[in-house]
């Protein structure tokens, strides 16, 4: 039944994952959009921490972890975000609902594999700037997705390594519309890019018992720098604003724009933690991304620079009593964490930073090994200084982590 459930779900929502608009952030204008969190709800509820791994949950951030799976795992997740955008003069609210990942993991002895679909970046904003009688409106949509295949191998009982191959694809559209009071015609410029490219991610995980009760875990991942091909097009037009507010394009012209290659930055992360198996865990992780090497697509942006990005996360979980089958809530996994991010974007000489505080629960369902995971995150991005926008967001995320056993010999139907 789980197999049929996953296949049907995959068919229904694959197109949604490719087309969805997953952000309302004005900072998604820059580069190839705002980076999406690439881990599971379980990781996200611990501040994004990926150093922890076990035998019944997927870890999409480190491919080495899949070697530790002992059951086939099906995972699907979505989220809903409330975002308040504020400047020194005004504020506005916006919401988004997105599918966050689809994945399946398969144990194969000392090997393990998982594959799936994950949104990688997202572009989605609507802004306007009014000076005198001139009104310029900016709108963007699209983003990058990745289809991935990861392989992990358990070298020893303590050490695992892994690699995942990612096919990145997507479309981004930016529209700028200018109208002036008292003038019948305005102008519009549309920039579109179709992005394609491969990249790889390498990982290693180490875990060992340091005492009879305490287990130490450590992880490292590295994603080399890679190029994405960008097929660019630009359209400009004169426009007429109709009485109902709609815009009618006139004199549409295509402008020749060269295709380009974008340097997608390298990334390195390292983390460690300690805990009592099936009881509690606490860890910390640092990630660095070489976004200073990043370039924009087909047009230059004044007063914008890319700098190296980083993230520091601290988090963990607690289980009151893993084996308390007579008390459901004692088997619930309680998770919490905090993260501090430098996004790698500098606008008007202001670095755009972000922080988030998260917590969540893993609720056992359908037996001992499957879970419904709930999570919540409160955070802030950006600043009101230098004419910029500060975002305050609250995100609710939910996932199903379903486990099954393949190739099991059944004695009774």
Note the pLDDT of residue 378: 97
Strands 247-255 and 309-318: unpaired
* Residue 229, C-beta contacts closer than 8 angstroms, at least 6 positions apart: 195, 196, 197, 259, 260, 261, 262
Q: Given this model, what pLDDT does residue 129 score?
A: 79
Nearest to 179 by CA among 92, 234, 248, 124: 248
Q: How far is residue 226's CA from residue 410's CA, in Å, rounded to a whole number? A: 48
Give me 347's structure tokens: 């606008």
Give the per-residue pLDDT at 152: 97
Q: Does 295 have pLDDT greater than 70?
A: no
Q: Which of 123, 38, 87 is nearest to 391 (CA)?
A: 87
The helix/strand/coil state of 10 is helix
Q: What percent of the chain is predicted at pLDDT more than 90?
A: 60
| Per-residue pLDDT band at 15 (split at 50, 70, 90) | very low
Distance CA 216, CA 158 (A): 10
Instruction: Give dist(CA 356, CA 46) in Å, integer.
Output: 10
- pLDDT for 387 equals 86
Asked if pLDDT for residue 339 goes beyond 60, the answer is yes
pLDDT at 5: 45
> pLDDT tier at 272 (50, 70, 90 boundaries)?
very high
> Could you read off the pLDDT of 347-356 as tens digits, one per residue?
999 999 999 9
DSSP 367: T
pLDDT of res. 261: 84
Taking residues 163-188, what's their average pLDDT? 90
Three-state DSSP class for 64? helix
> Is the pLDDT score of 153 beyond 60?
yes
More confidently predicted of 306 and 392: 392
Whether residue 318 is predicted with pLDDT greater than 80 in this model: the reply is yes
Cβ pair 271, 51 in contact under 8 A: yes
Average pLDDT, the chain: 88
18 pLDDT band, cuts 50/70/90, is very low
| CATH topology (fold) of 2-404 | Porin (2.40.160)
Query: What pLDDT is attached to residue 243?
Result: 77
Who's near 241: CB < 8 A, 6+ residues apart?
179, 186, 247, 248
Per-residue pLDDT for 1 more than 80?
no
User: Residue 237 is encoded by which pair of tokens?
Assistant: 């037009």
Q: What is the token pair recorded at 227?
A: 């190029």
- Using an 8 Å Cβ cutoff, are 222 and 201 in contact? yes
How far apart CA 141 and CA 114 sit, in angstroms, is 29
Under a CB-based contact definition with an 8 Å cutoff, are residues 227 and 272 in contact? no
pLDDT at 11: 44
**Which pLDDT does position 40 carry in this prediction?**
95
Predicted local confidence at residue 47, as pLDDT:
96
Domain boundaries, the chain: 2-404
pLDDT tens digits along 99-117: 999 999 999 999 999 999 9
Q: What local confidence, expressed as pLDDT, does residue 58 receive?
A: 94
Question: Rounded mean pLDDT of 383-389?
Answer: 90
- The confidence score (pLDDT) of residue 157 equals 92
Average pLDDT of span 370-386: 94
Residue 297: the pLDDT is: 57
> How open is the CA angle 300-305-309, to the nearest 5 degrees?
130
Exposed e or buried b per residue across 343-357, where buried means at least 16 C-beta atoms within 10 angstroms of its C-beta: bbbbbeebebbbebe
């Amino acid at each position: 039944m789980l197999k049929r459930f996953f296949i049907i779900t995959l068919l229904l929502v694959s197109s949604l994952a490719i087309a969805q608009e997953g952000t309302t952030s004005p900072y998604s204008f820059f580069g190839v959009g705002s980076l999406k969190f690439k881990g599971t709800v379980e990781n996200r509820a611990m501040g994004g921490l990926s150093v922890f791994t076990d035998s019944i949950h997927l870890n999409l951030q480190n491919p080495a972890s899949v070697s530790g799976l002992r059951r086939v795992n099906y995972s699907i997740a979505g989220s809903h975000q409330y975002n308040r955008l504020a400047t020194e003069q005004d504020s506005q609210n916006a919401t988004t609902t997105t599918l966050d990942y689809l994945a399946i993991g398969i144990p194969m002895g000392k090997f393990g594999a998982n594959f799936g679909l994950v949104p990688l970046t997202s572009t989605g904003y609507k802004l306007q700037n009014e000076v005198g009688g001139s009104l310029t409106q900016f709108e963007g949509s699209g983003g990058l997705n990745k289809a991935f295949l990861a392989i992990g191998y358990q070298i020893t009982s303590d050490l695992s390594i892994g690699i995942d191959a990612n096919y990145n694809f997507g479309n981004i559209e930016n529209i700028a519309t200018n109208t002036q009071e008292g003038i019948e015609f305005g102008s519009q410029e549309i920039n579109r890019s179709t992005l394609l490219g491969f990249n790889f991610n390498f990982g290693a995980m180490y875990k060992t018992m340091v005492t009879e009760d305490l287990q130490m875990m450590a992880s490292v991942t590295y994603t080399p720098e890679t190029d994405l091909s960008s097929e660019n097009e630009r359209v400009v037009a004169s426009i007429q604003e109709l009485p109902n507010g709609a815009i009618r394009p006139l004199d549409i012209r295509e402008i020749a724009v060269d295709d380009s290659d974008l340097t997608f930055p390298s990334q390195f992360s390292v983390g460690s933690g300690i805990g009592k198996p099936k009881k509690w865990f606490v860890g910390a992780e640092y990630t660095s991304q070489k976004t200073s090497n990043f370039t924009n697509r087909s047009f230059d942006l004044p007063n914008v620079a890319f700098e190296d990005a980083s993230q520091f996360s601290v988090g963990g979980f607690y289980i009151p009593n893993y084996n308390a089958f007579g008390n459901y809530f004692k088997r619930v996994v309680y998770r919490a964490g905090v993260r501090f991010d430098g996004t790698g974007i500098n606008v008007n000489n202001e670095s755009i930073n972000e922080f988030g505080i998260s917590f969540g629960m893993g609720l056992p369902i359908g037996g001992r090994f499957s879970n419904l995971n709930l999570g919540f995150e409160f955070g802030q991005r950006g600043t009101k200084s230098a004419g910029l926008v500060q975002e305050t967001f609250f995100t609710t995320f939910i996932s199903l982590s379903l486990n099954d056993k393949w190739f099991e010999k059944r004695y009774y139907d």
